[in-house]
């Protein structure tokens, strides 16, 4: 432990002066107050002037429209929605559709990106060239073009519903999307869920025990076969004892389309696919740069300890590389989320399409709706950044420890 | 991203302009030497560029007639192609002087958008286009169908009302532009394409095999299409309104592009008023005495424009129907020029 004399705490007034005025003292403080006042005044003038002008042209303004009936339908809604619901409901439907694409897209982009990034560094000539080719091809084509390509490619290949490709008579693939049996809760659901929960907790405890053993006595215990056994065995046992957790509603072809079952619309598939593949190319480069930023000696040290290449990467290199990877990775996540607003080109009902598109043109209240939409995208981005910063802080903490 | 810039323009126009946009549009147009006219992104018969890049169509003729009345030159128009959802913002922000883009006149649009409809250029209704191979003969057989529609239109809401009213299920896929909508319909994503019937005939021409597609007999809504101008400039509102009336009145009076010079010598009192040889009606609108002659010489009367663009003389071949003059079985009717 080092012992340093702590500086005496500043007096309150001095602290305030330093916080507000910086080095310039009270004069700087006054200047800042003036600056803020000027900003507030300009903002107020703009809002007041806009209100007056909208009123004089008799353009409706305000947020009253949000409770009006929307009167149009949406092709994918995660919460119950019909045309007789309000514009507020439309907003939520659109927002959830945007978040769905963003979350699933981020997941796949990360997985593909890491694989390609590691592949590019692989000593295997073929693998590294294929990964390099993927990155150069994908990141140099415009994303809108890629979305349209996947949409038209997906649609062009698939048959119409009457000739749909059927798997086991219960999965149907056609140009209306993928129709799958819809799970409906049955009597065995609660014991089943309980069994899964128990298995997860038990597996986690096993891992904890194994790590303790490793650190305290240096004994390496392989636990993953037991964990997998628990995770599969317990729920299986529960469903054998208490009956099946869910029954399935099998889709049927009726008239033009399938009735029953759940459906994944092709717009969603095309958009998620395009955004994942596009963003993955950038993530791959970030991962490569991150790993190359870790000193080569770390790899050699791992090898001299007798670790395999995979173990060295997983245990030594990647954790250090993550510190470099995370900030630009956050950027890519934000880009993917914002790029999802290109959905409007292929008719996927995201927030930008149903709210800043349809709702805007039906109500004509451009300023309000664009303001709300901007606010929402800003909020999504800030929350994503915050989560990533928190993760980065945790990694930094454990590396310092 | 055009729309974002439009919205910004609106926000800036509303937020920063010191005087409200009630300025005299006619004066602005004259100073500029050009009329700025909002049209569709290409709807054959109504507003679409021809093979030489000239805009033609019924909606285009309204703007050309306004330009002819002001400048005696129907080419002094700048056409601004707009998607359905951008159109009102473009008008509100002052980017265009007239919106002549197959826009349905409804109460909410007339009151809440800060704009006025100046008349009806085409009485339309919403219909359905299907592939003949589906062997569907009525819209009531469309239960559980997938429907492609252009977003930001009254079509979307009529569709919801119609299927709900008839207890039918459907799936709607909404696209931003008419071209994307038709492409999705053609690729088989949807069973049905719906828009105004005139639009169905026009878009069908763009399909690979127009003869494989049929328009169903049901017309599920009233769609009176007409031009719009901004609130707050009554002189401009009157001018655009009366240019359209003049086209309809010209047809009723029998004035055509060919005979307009001969008719101008006529002694009939209603013709003398229309041609400005008696009184100063055109000047009351802020135009010249010979405004009707200028309009008819430039684009013809309403019937001529209809035939040339959407009627018997065009590829669309739509019958006059409701758009026939009131004294010939239709409902096109204009107040008298006097």
- Asked whether residue B20 carries a pLDDT value surpassing 60, the answer given is no
Which pLDDT does position B13 carry in this prediction?
A: 57
- Residue B115 pairs in a beta bridge with B230
Which pLDDT does position B4 carry in this prediction?
A: 53
- Asked whether residue A351 carries a pLDDT value surpassing 50, the answer given is yes
pLDDT, tens only, A307-334:
888 888 888 888 889 988 999 999 999 9
Average pLDDT taken over every residue of chain B: 89
The DSSP secondary-structure symbol of A314 reads I
pLDDT, tens only, A210-230:
888 888 887 777 888 888 888
Of A332, A241, A355, the closest CA to residue A286 belongs to A332
Mean pLDDT, to the nearest integer, of B133-145? 90
Please count the other Cβ atoms lying within 10 Å of the Cβ belonging to residue A123. 7
Which pLDDT does position A311 carry in this prediction?
A: 87
Please count the other Cβ atoms lying within 10 Å of the Cβ belonging to residue A14. 10
The ipTM assigned to this model is 0.78
The residue with tokens 């240096």 is A218
Which pLDDT does position B6 carry in this prediction?
A: 59
- Asked whether residue B103 carries a pLDDT value surpassing 90, the answer given is yes
DSSP state string for A30-75: HHHHHHHHHHHHHHHHHHHHHHHHHHHTTB--SSGGGGSB-----S
Residues in chain A: 401
Q: How far apart are CA A138 and CA A143, in angstroms?
A: 9
Q: Which of A51, A58, A83, A256 to mutate to test the interface with B (most CBs of B within 10 A)?
A: A256
Which pLDDT does position B104 carry in this prediction?
A: 93
Which pLDDT does position B167 carry in this prediction?
A: 92
Contacts of residue A86 in chain B, CB cutoff 8 Å?
A: none
Asked if A124 is an interface residue toward chain B (Cβ–Cβ < 8 A), one would say no
CA A285 to chain B, closest CA, distance in angstroms equals: 29
Q: Which of A51, A59, A155 to mutate to test the interface with B (most CBs of B within 10 A)?
A: A59
Mean pLDDT, to the nearest integer, of A12-24? 68
Asked if A229 is an interface residue toward chain B (Cβ–Cβ < 8 A), one would say no
pLDDT, tens only, B30-62:
999 999 999 999 899 999 999 898 999 999 999
Q: How far apart are CA B244 and CA B224, in angstroms?
A: 14
Q: How far apart are CA B95 and CA A159, in angstroms?
A: 45
Chain A (56-75) residues lying within 8 Å, Cβ to Cβ, of chain B: 56-60, 71-75
- Which of A144-148, A167-171, B49-53, B69-73 has the least mean pLDDT? A167-171
DSSP state string for B45-80: TTBEE-TTS-EESHHHHHHHHHHHHHHS-TT-EEEE
Q: How far apart are CA B318 and CA B325, in angstroms?
A: 15
Question: Are B160 and A364 inside 8 Å of each other by CB?
Answer: no
Chain A (234-293) residues lying within 8 Å, Cβ to Cβ, of chain B: 254-257, 259, 266-267
- Asked whether residue A109 carries a pLDDT value surpassing 80, the answer given is yes
Chain A (338-367) residues lying within 8 Å, Cβ to Cβ, of chain B: 344-347, 349, 353-354, 357-358, 360-367
Q: What are phi and psi of A128, to 5 degrees?
A: -70, -35
Contacts of residue A71 in chain B, CB cutoff 8 Å?
A: 156-157, 160-161
Is B218 in contact with B226 (CB distance < 8 Å)?
no
Q: How far apart are CA A360 and CA B251, in angstroms?
A: 39
- Residue B35 pairs in a beta bridge with B77
Least CA distance to B174: which residue of chain A?
A: A347
Q: What strand order describes the sheet that includes A262-264? A: A165-167, A171-174, A177-180, A262-264
H or E stretch at A323: helix A318-339
Question: Are A49 and B109 inside 8 Å of each other by CB?
Answer: no
Mean pLDDT, to the nearest integer, of A238-252? 79
- Asked whether residue B127 carries a pLDDT value surpassing 50, the answer given is yes
Contacts of residue A50 in chain B, CB cutoff 8 Å?
A: 11, 14-15
Q: Largest alpha-carbon pair distance within chain B? A: 64
pTM flag (> 0.95): no
Asked if A374 is an interface residue toward chain B (Cβ–Cβ < 8 A), one would say no
Q: Are strands B98-104 and B35-39 parallel, antiparallel or unpaired?
A: parallel
Question: Are A155 and B188 inside 8 Å of each other by CB?
Answer: yes
pLDDT, tens only, A149-168:
999 887 778 887 778 788 77
CA B270 to chain A, closest CA, distance in angstroms equals: 37
Residues in chain B: 338
H or E stretch at B227: strand B223-230
Least CA distance to B157: which residue of chain A?
A: A72
Q: How far apart are CA B89 and CA B95, in angstroms?
A: 9
Token pair in block for residue B165: 């009213």
Which pLDDT does position A168 carry in this prediction?
A: 76
Contacts of residue A254 in chain B, CB cutoff 8 Å?
A: 144
Is A340 in contact with A380 (CB distance < 8 Å)?
no
The DSSP secondary-structure symbol of A316 reads I
Asked if A298 is an interface residue toward chain B (Cβ–Cβ < 8 A), one would say no
Average pLDDT taken over every residue of chain A: 86
Which pLDDT does position B225 carry in this prediction?
A: 95
- For A358, which of B143, B174, B191 is closest by C-beta distance? B174
Q: What are phi and psi of B175, to 5 degrees?
A: -115, 160
Higher pLDDT, A246 or A198: A198
Higher pLDDT, B173 or A397: B173
The per-residue b/e assignment along A316-331, b for 16 or more CB within 10 angstroms, e otherwise, is bbbebbbebbbeebbe
- For B152, which of A56, A175, A362 is closest by C-beta distance? A362
Q: How far apart are CA A143 and CA A338, in angstroms?
A: 12
Q: What share of chain A in percent tops pLDDT 70?
A: 95
CA A365 to chain B, closest CA, distance in angstroms equals: 8
Q: How far apart are CA B338 and CA B272, in angstroms?
A: 10
């Amino acid at each position: 432990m080092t012992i340093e004399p702590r500086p005496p705490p500043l007096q309150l007034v001095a602290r305030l002066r330093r916080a507000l005025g910086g080095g310039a003292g009270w004069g700087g403080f006054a200047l800042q107050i003036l600056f803020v006042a000027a900003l507030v005044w300009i903002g107020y003038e703009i809002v007041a002037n806009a209100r007056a002008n909208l009123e004089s042209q008799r353009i409706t303004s305000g947020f009253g429209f949000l409770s009006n009936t929307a009167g149009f339908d949406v092709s994918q809604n995660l919460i119950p929605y019909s045309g007789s619901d309000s514009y507020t409901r439309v907003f939520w439907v659109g927002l959830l559709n945007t978040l769905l694409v963003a979350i699933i897209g981020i997941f796949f982009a990360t997985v593909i990106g890491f694989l390609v990034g590691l592949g590019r560094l692989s000593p295997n000539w073929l693998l590294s060239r294929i990964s390099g080719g993927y990155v150069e091809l994908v990141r140099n084509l415009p994303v809108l073009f890629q979305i349209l390509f996947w949409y038209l490619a997906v649609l062009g290949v698939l048959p119409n519903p009457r000739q749909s490709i059927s798997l086991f008579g219960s999965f149907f693939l056609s140009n209306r999307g993928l129709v799958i049996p819809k799970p409906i809760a049955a009597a065995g659901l609660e014991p089943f869920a309980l069994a899964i929960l128990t298995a997860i907790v038990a597996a986690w405890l096993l891992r904890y025990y194994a790590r303790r053993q490793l650190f305290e006595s240096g004994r390496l215990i392989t636990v993953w076969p037991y964990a997998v056994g628990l995770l599969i065995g317990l729920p299986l046992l529960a469903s054998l004892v208490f009956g099946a957790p869910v029954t399935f509603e099998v889709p049927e072809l009726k008239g033009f389309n399938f009735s029953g079952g759940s459906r994944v619309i092709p717009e969603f598939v095309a958009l998620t696919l395009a955004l994942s593949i596009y963003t993955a190319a950038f993530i791959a480069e970030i991962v490569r740069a991150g790993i190359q930023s870790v000193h080569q000696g770390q790899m050699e040290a791992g090898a001299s300890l007798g670790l395999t290449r995979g173990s060295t990467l997983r245990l030594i290199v990647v954790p250090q590389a993550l510190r470099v990877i995370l900030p630009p990775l956050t950027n890519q996540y934000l880009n993917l989320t914002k790029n999802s607003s290109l959905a409007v080109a292929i008719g996927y009902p995201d927030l930008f399409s149903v709210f800043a598109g349809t709702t805007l043109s039906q109500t004509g209240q451009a300023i309000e709706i664009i303001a709300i939409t901007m606010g929402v995208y800003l909020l999504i981005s800030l929350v994503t950044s915050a989560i990533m910063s928190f993760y980065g802080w945790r990694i930094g903490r454990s590396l310092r420890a | 991203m055009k729309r974002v810039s439009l919205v910004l323009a609106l926000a800036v126009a509303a937020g920063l302009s010191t005087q409200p946009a009630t300025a005299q549009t006619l004066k602005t147009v004259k100073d500029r030497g050009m009329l700025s006219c909002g049209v569709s992104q290409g709807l054959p018969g109504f507003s679409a560029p021809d093979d030489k890049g000239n805009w033609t169509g019924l909606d285009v003729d309204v703007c050309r007639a306004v330009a002819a009345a002001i400048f005696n030159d129907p080419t002094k128009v700048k056409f601004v192609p707009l998607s359905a959802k951008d159109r009102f913002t473009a008008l509100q922000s002052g980017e265009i002087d007239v919106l002549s883009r197959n826009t349905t006149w409804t109460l909410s649009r007339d009151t809440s958008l800060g704009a006025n409809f100046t008349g009806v250029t085409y009485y339309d209704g919403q219909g359905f286009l299907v592939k003949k191979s589906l062997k569907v003969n009525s819209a009531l057989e469309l239960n559980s169908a997938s429907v492609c529609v252009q977003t930001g239109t009254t079509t979307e809401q009529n569709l919801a009302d119609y299927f709900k009213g008839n207890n039918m299920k459907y799936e709607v896929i909404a696209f931003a532009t008419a071209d994307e909508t038709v492409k999705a319909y053609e690729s088989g994503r949807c069973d049905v394409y719906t828009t105004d019937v005139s639009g169905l005939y026009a878009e069908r021409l763009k399909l690979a095999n127009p003869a494989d597609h049929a328009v169903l007999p049901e017309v599920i809504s009233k769609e009176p299409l007409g031009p719009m101008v901004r609130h707050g400039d009554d002189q401009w509102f009157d001018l655009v309104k009366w240019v359209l009336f003049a086209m309809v009145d010209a047809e009723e009076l029998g004035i055509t592009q060919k005979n307009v010079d001969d008719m101008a010598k006529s002694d009939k009192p209603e013709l003398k008023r229309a041609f400005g040889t008696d009184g100063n009606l055109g000047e009351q609108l802020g135009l010249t005495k010979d405004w009707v002659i200028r309009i008819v010489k430039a684009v013809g009367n309403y019937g001529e424009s209809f035939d040339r663009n959407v009627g018997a003389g065009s590829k669309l071949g739509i019958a006059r129907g409701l758009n026939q003059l009131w004294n010939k079985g239709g409902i096109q009717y204009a107040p008298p020029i006097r």
